[in-house]
Amino acid sequence: MKGKFIVVEGLDGAGKTTSSYAIAAALRQNGVDKIIHTHEPGGTPLAEKLRQLIKKDKHQKEHIRSHTELLMLYAARIQLVENIIKPALAHGTWVIGDRHELSSQAYQGGGHGIRHDFIRRLKKEVMGNFVPDLILYLDVTPAISVHRIKKRGTPDRMETQSLHFFTRVRDYYLTMLKSNNRIKKIDATQSQEKMNADLKDIITKWFQAQKLESTKISLK
């Protein structure tokens, strides 16, 4: 089976990084041994510099406009996809991404109010039909998200948004869940142990379905 691109999505504090390693463990149990992890924004030297501008520099005097933020995120995403993700997939390596394009739709679209048709046109223009094979959405309430962000330390620029902002972001994630069958929802308010069990179950069933489909194609 060729390499697949699996993305973990959700509000900040949902447990995406920890869950990424649980997903990798589930894949290894199913015989996948070539796996890399990526995160957005970032993942290449240029993308990491953009990450610093987008997330870390909250004390800069110049206000970052919502459209500027969106375009910087896509600039970083293009570098990551073209220089890291696509080459890995072409060589049979599986990629587990901490965020991808759905984050821009939810945060810059749902949160900041940028028109969704503009984001879709931008995505189509710079990335074509490239999409993840599977998206695992970790669902938490905005109140839990904000609590976890504060608990883990000083929030970055993007984590200092209001509770209403995160509510709009979550609402968009839940809306997309209804119309995109590549997205699977996991309750991220439960223990990490229970989340890991749910993730393992989803990955195992999905992997077997992909394996069956790959076998059908090879027999044609």
Binding site membership for ATP: which residues?
10-17
- Whether the CB-CB separation of 69 and 84 falls below 8 Å is answered with no
Q: Rounded to whole angstroms, how far apart are CA atoms 129 and 145?
A: 31
Q: Which residues of 131-161 are buried (b: 16+ CB within 10 A; e: fewer)?
A: ebbbbbbbbbebebbbebbeeeeebebbbeb
Instruction: Give the three-class secondary structure for 138.
Output: strand
Which positions make up the binding site?
10-17
Residues in the chain: 220
**42 backbone φψ class: left, alpha, beta (φ>0; ψ -120 to 50):** left
**Hey, what are 134's tokens?**
């599977």
